[in-house]
Amino acid sequence: MSSSVEELLTLLQLERLEENYFRGESRDIGTRYVFGGQVLGQALSAAQQTVDPARTAHSLHAYFLRAGDIEHPILYHVERTRDGGSFSTRRVTAVQHGQPIFNMSASFQIAETGVEHQQTMPEVPKADDLAPPASLPQEEFDKLPPKLQRWFRRSGPFEFRPVYPRDELNPPKRPPYQQVWFRLTRPIPDSPVLHRALLAYASDFHLIGTTLFPHGISFLQRNVQVASLDHAMWFHRPFRVDEWLLYSCDSPTAQDGRGLARGMFYDEGGRLVASTAQEGLIRVRPESA
């Protein structure tokens, strides 16, 4: 198993301090603050540890309240809101330096059968028919700040293959949608709980960036500020994150310094396995600022 995958799995295995308190470390992946997907995955992992193992997460709704400090651990407090006959609900608060930086409500359900339908997967090339993203030219790489150099230089735990690659350094104006195939770079154990936490982590990649497409701007530009405000997710069917999943994203609207993005996850067989939505802050400062 690659070191980056091992590191991510360790990141999601929180230290239990007391019955409803957990501590998680942070990972510097080249972002200025703690990556939002990390907090999502850790919070879901903390909540799951307080629920009957027969109940798995089917939805979560979260708010990012403050930027997380990469250099310090995060404390997770889980409130056992309700345990009913079929559903359990948990509320998780993430704290750093004595202040809440994130809160989340998650719902868990026992396995049931019922009616089924789903939206059809977009017709796109298969992941194996797409080339991995090209590396940045060295002269462009050298111009980036050290943090972003680390972002592009790192060998991450996920492999991404965009259907329609976009030059983030010189972004063109495009319609607000994209499709990206992704998977873990190595196989991992058969644990639905672990795969859900990892998908929550990965769901924060690419999503809010879709809102920038119509405006020809990128998170790499110094005058562009982008930050996650909230995040919702629904788990529909079993899946594996170490097998190819298609992340199909679109953005129906942006206004008032905020943009809304939606995403659907499909496996290679075309099954819709999860859905997500996120609103993010989008600010574009004058170039001279």
Which residues, at least 6 apart from 259, have a Cβ–Cβ distance to it below 8 Å?
208, 211, 212, 251, 253, 279, 280, 282
Of the residues 26, 204, 248, 275, which is catalytic? 204
- What is the Cα gyration radius of the chain? 19
CB atoms within 10 A of CB 70: 16
Of the residues 178, 179, 251, 278, which is catalytic? 278
Of the residues 228, 248, 251, 275, which is catalytic? 228
Told to judge if 96 belongs to the known catalytic residues of this protein, a careful annotator would answer no
First to last CA, the chain: 45
How far is it, in rounded angstroms, from Cα 112 to Cα 79? 25
List helix spans (H) across 29-164: 36-48, 138-141, 146-153
Token couple for 73: 């651990």
| φ, ψ at 208 (rounded to 5°) | -70, -25
Told to judge if 248 belongs to the known catalytic residues of this protein, a careful annotator would answer no
Token couple for 231: 């995040």
CB atoms within 10 A of CB 269: 8
Which one-letter amino acid corresponds to residue 237?
Answer: R
DSSP string, 149-182: HHHHH---SEEEEESS---SSSPPP--SEEEEEE
Give CA separation, 284 vs 28, 31, 143, 262, in Å.
25, 18, 21, 22
Told to judge if 45 belongs to the known catalytic residues of this protein, a careful annotator would answer no
Q: How many residues does the chain have?
A: 289
Which H helix or E strand runs over 281? strand 272-284
Hey, which residues are catalytic here?
Answer: 204, 228, 278
